[in-house]
Amino acid sequence: MEPGRVSFRMLHNKDYSPLKRKMFCPAEEKIVPSEEIIKGFEMEPGKHVLITNEELESVSPDRSRTIEIAEFIQTGEIDPIYYDHPYYLVPLKGGEKSYKLLAQIMRRTGRAGIAKFVLDEREYLVTVTSRDGALVVSTLHYSDEILPGKEFAPEKSSVAPEEKTGLKESIKKMMTNFTPGKYSDVRREKLMAILKKKTNKAAVLAPETESIGAEGVEDLVAALEKSMHDS
């Protein structure tokens, strides 16, 4: 789960049961059980190439239990657009010493290790860097996943020199150092405040899914309850 993200369960408004997702076949208008579901790659609308789980497995790299660093680079060399998602690494039992050593050396030298690493069946290019004595793996985009900025830059049009100096001046005035703590996710904070207020008085209960109120069980519950209080 992403930190900081507030996620919600979908509930049925009649009885507050948490809802489940099911696969629905629009042609037959019915719910399809998992054993009838296969995978296809859409070539064009309505036309699919089937692929089996065995085929998928045959191209998935073996899960790596170790990260082998192939080379070291200066951290500043990486264009930030390549960074995808950071994860903290924790050492395996017995690996604490070499973990610590690597974290210290990388911090001192300002270097990042480049490695390939398999996560969720996909092989990622990652950097390994040091942060507060811990090692951080950041997945990187592969270069062919990065769209060239050219495609999005507007066509050339002439800018007057005084406009340029004006903008330069105002940027200069707004210069400061980056302090991320100054900013926070305001929507999230407001949302959490609402939720906190509500949990105290307005929490709703889902119905029992396995009927504890099934036949005869009321008597059991009553007997158990009684046994708690008899002395």
Partner 1 sequence: MSKYTLKINNRELAVSNLEKELYPAYGFTKGRLLEYYGAIAPYILPHLKGRAITLKRYPNGANREYFFEKRCPPHLDWVETADVPYGKKKQLTACMVNNLETLIWVENLASLELHVPLARAHAPETADAVVFDLDPGENADVLDCAKTAIILREMFLKLKLYSCVKTSGKKGLHVFVPLNSNRYGFKETKQFSRAVAQIVHKNHPDLVTTKMAKESRIGKVFINWSQNDASKTMVSAYSLRAGEKPFVSCPLTFQELESRALENKPERLQFKHDETVLRVKKLGDLFKEMLDKKQSLPYL
Q: In terms of CB distance, is 72 or 99 closer to partner 1?
A: 99
Contacts to partner 1 from residues 91-150, by CB under 8 A: 93-94
Say if CB 63 and CB 55 are below 8 A apart.
no
Q: Cβ 115 to partner 1, closest distance in Å? A: 22
Q: Does 90 bind partner 1 (CB under 8 A)?
A: no
Query: Which region among 46-54, 55-63, 180-188, 221-229 touches partner 1 (by CB under 8 A)?
Result: 221-229
Q: Please report how close the Cβ of residue 89 comes to partner 1 at its closest, in angstroms.
A: 18
**Residue 204 to residue 17: CA distance in whole angstroms:** 10
Under rule CB under 8 A, residue 192 binds partner 1: no
Place of tokens 């500043």: 76
Stretch that binds partner 1, among 98-106, 157-165, 197-205, 209-217 (CB under 8 A): 209-217
Residue 6 binds partner 1, judged by CB under 8 A: no
Q: Which is nearer to partner 1, 160 or 224 (CB)?
A: 224
Query: Is residue 200 close enough to count as binding partner 1 by CB under 8 A?
Result: no
Of 165 and 211, CB closest to partner 1: 211
**In degrees rounded to 5, what are phi and psi of residue 191?**
-65, -45
Residue 214 near partner 1 by CB under 8 A: yes
Kindly list the residues in this chain that would bind partner 1 in the complex (CB under 8 A): 93-94, 210, 212, 214, 216-217, 219-221, 223-228, 230
